Chains A and B, each alone.
Chain A
């Protein structure tokens, strides 16, 4: 019974996608030129004067970040209100599941000490990245002329680099606060011979920089690649100009869409868990 319902649900979603694709095909004229690259270009929506080197204009990424922040604030208020309800509502149970995932699955599984201190940051990063990723999957009308409207704040290297910089700064802040002056000395094992020790220290400091880069680029490239594939599949129906191709490609793009929901979740999880690993590593140095 349940399985039958699931199958019908998938069929309905595919049919809906095909219908949208067919509808898009029928609108004549502007459908020949679909530029996928333009999706990820940032043009100012509200022009503001620049202060020094900082351009304060509001563009798509800023609007998406605003929406993410607003959604998170609304959810926080709703969760606070639902805590008073007895018996617990479905919404509250779902939120408690997510909280338990952040508390036991991410922080509890990776960090040894400082769990209570660093849980707020790691859970905050997890929920922020998750919300930003998921909102990016909803087409919102901030696109220029006839674009598809897929964009996510995390498909922008500046946003992900800022998030990764937070983790980078907090890692070294946590390490310095816990281990004081020993923190940088502990980067190389004390048992190693002197020359090797210096070499290990240099390698470790290079790896610290590359942790920052890889944390930013991983999230950025994953979201960019996912949205580019989605845009290509949706645009291909327009390029081929045939109903049959639209039917097949819309079905395929619905499946990719489901996969992207999974990727959005996994990437938020990986971002949070790597932040926890880095901060935990700085707190409990082995050497």
Chain B
């Protein structure tokens, strides 16, 4: 395997493997938030705000993988 194809392969793998964790995390986060909204609709606004903060923080992990993939393809 030459260096070029190794780079492309590594970029693909980093994106794919790097999305597993955030996907599970987002699923758990949103399911729990929906559960608590269903249980206590009166605090729905507060839960939603905190859910979006959590989504932003969790999603960033996948985006780090995306940035690494970009660096592998275009910079390295």
Contact = CB atoms under 8 A, between A and B. Distances in A.
A268 to B, nearest CB: 11
Interface stretch (B4-12, B32-40, B60-68): B60-68
A188 B26 CA distance: 30
A217 interface: yes
A221 B64 CA distance: 8
Interface residues of A, number: 19
Interface residue tally on B, bucketed by range: 10 to 19
Interface stretch (A127-135, A164-172, A195-203, A269-277): A269-277
Contact of B52 (A221, A224, A225, A266): A266
Interface in B14-56: 45-46, 49, 52-53, 55-56
27 contacts: A105-B45, A105-B49, A109-B45, A109-B46, A109-B49, A214-B57, A217-B60, A217-B63, A217-B67, A218-B60, A220-B67, A221-B60, A221-B64, A221-B66, A222-B59, A224-B70, A225-B63, A266-B55, A267-B56, A270-B52, A270-B53, A270-B55, A270-B56, A273-B49, A273-B52, A273-B53, A273-B56
Given A109-B46, A214-B57, 8 more contacts: A105-B45, A105-B49, A220-B67, A221-B66, A221-B67, A266-B55, A270-B52, A277-B53
